[in-house]
Amino acid sequence: MRRAPVLVLASASPRRRELLGRLGVTFDVDPAGIPEALPAQDSRAERVARRLARAKALAVAARYPALPVLAADTVVVRSGRLLSKPADEAEAWSMLRELRGRRHRVITAVAVARGRRIWVGHAVTWVQMREYSDHEIAASIARGDPFDKAGAYAIQDERFHPVAEYRGCYCNVVGLPLGTVIDLLRRAGIAVCPSPELLPPECAYCPLLASVRSRRGLDTGS
């Protein structure tokens, strides 16, 4: 029998659902369904992402007075320009060509709302893209891969493999920085102590999880 949920995930993203499930918590899913319009230019990208994550959490929290609600928002920042999800093929082409061979930031803000309280945090990862070809861009677009992803790509895409290297939290680029999530859930009163074997292998090198581990610890399996 399924355990009673301890929180609600305010996101339709299958990647966020999969990552949150790796923390060993039981949750329901109820997407916020609010617009994610971004300003074309903003030097305070972190503030934009935090505002959107907060708005999503509060929108869903109104429907769940007894459960905490977790929401997130991811933006890609290249030369001061904010990139969200491409609206069409032309925008996907533009984003992937702009990012090709260059470095950018990925920012994911996370918000946890519980009753009248809300906790918000964010993570930043630097990503260096490889010199992929126009043919590879076309193949990715033909598969429909870019259209639900900030910046039009997925770091975990094994067919496109657009990323050369990154510095920071891998899961942040996927869409949910687990170290930030664990910290916020603990602040909201939800005990989270995932087993390392349940986490993506990249988490073994994550600076965010190392920080959480040093403060309160992850389950060591011993």
Active site residues: 73
Amino acid letter at 139? A
- β-sheet bridge partners, residue 120: 111
Given a contact cutoff of 8 angstroms between Cβ atoms, the answer to whether 36 and 73 are in contact is: yes
Given a contact cutoff of 8 angstroms between Cβ atoms, the answer to whether 168 and 123 are in contact is: yes
Dihedral pair phi/psi, residue 47, rounded to 5°: -65, -40
44 to each of 48, 156, 195, how far by Cα in Å?
A: 7, 27, 35
HEC string of 37-79?
A: CCCCECCCHHHHHHHHHHHHHHHHHCCCCCCCEEEEEEEEEEC
Tell me which H or E stretch contains 17.
Answer: helix 14-21
In a 3-state reduction of DSSP, which class is residue 110? strand
Dihedral pair phi/psi, residue 118, rounded to 5°: -145, 140
Tally helices (H) and strands (E) across the chain.
Answer: 7, 7
- Both structure tokens of 222: 């011993």
